[in-house]
Structure 1
Amino acid sequence: MQKVVLYTQPQCPPCEIVKKFFRAHEIQFEEINIKNDVESRQFMIDQLASYSTPTVLINDAEVVRGFNLEELAGKLNIVCE
């Protein structure tokens, strides 16, 4: 099983779409709200070089920055029909 962390914030429609996408494909994920977790927000900026949500970290190694379902599907081996 892959470890998936989704960095989100309130009022982020693309974040909601990514969550629905994960649920539809039965991808388990941890959600981190960067408005509530300042330390994680700083990690996202400093370590992941991402300045927007959604940002997805896969297996502590691969990062998908911004809204890109096609890239997420590829990195998570999801076949979209």
Structure 2
Amino acid sequence: MNMNITVYTQDNCPPCQYIKNYFREHQILFTEKNIRNSQYRSEMMEMEAFSTPLIMIDDEILHAIDMDRIEALVHV
């Protein structure tokens, strides 16, 4: 199953590091977009998200780390 996963992050964000490590440990491919890049910051704000990590799994946007929902979506 091919999923499109994007994680909006920022530097010095322990929850961001946690979710990136989780995906790596489970060999789940994802794209990281660090919001120090103004384009990525604008994309995130367009989704009315103002904190990181912001996790997009296909068409679903998660504004917080909800491991039950993430595991259900990625079938871990």
- Taking structure 1 as the reference length, the TM-score comes to 0.83
2:72 is the alignment partner of 1:74 = yes
> Given that residues 7 and 33 in structure 1 are in contact (C-alpha distance below 8 angstroms), is that contact kept between their aligned partners in structure 2?
yes
Specify the alignment match of 1:7 in structure 2: 8
1:63 CA displacement: 0.6
Identity of aligned residues (%): 31
Letter in 2 for 1:34: I
Count of residues in Structure 1 that have an aligned counterpart in Structure 2: 75
Distance in 2 separating the partners of 1:43 and 1:69 = 24
Provide the alpha-carbon RMSD of the alignment: 1.1
Q: How many Å separate the matches in 2 of 1:66 and 1:49?
A: 13
Q: Structure 2 unaligned runs (5+)?
A: none
Which residue of the partner structure matches residue 56 of structure 2?
Answer: 57
Structure 1 residues not aligned, in runs of 5+: none
The answer as to whether partners of 1:18 and 1:69 remain within 8 angstroms in 2 is: no
Give the TM-score normalised by the residue count of structure 2: 0.88
C-alpha displacement of 1:42: 1.2
Equivalence for 2:40: 40
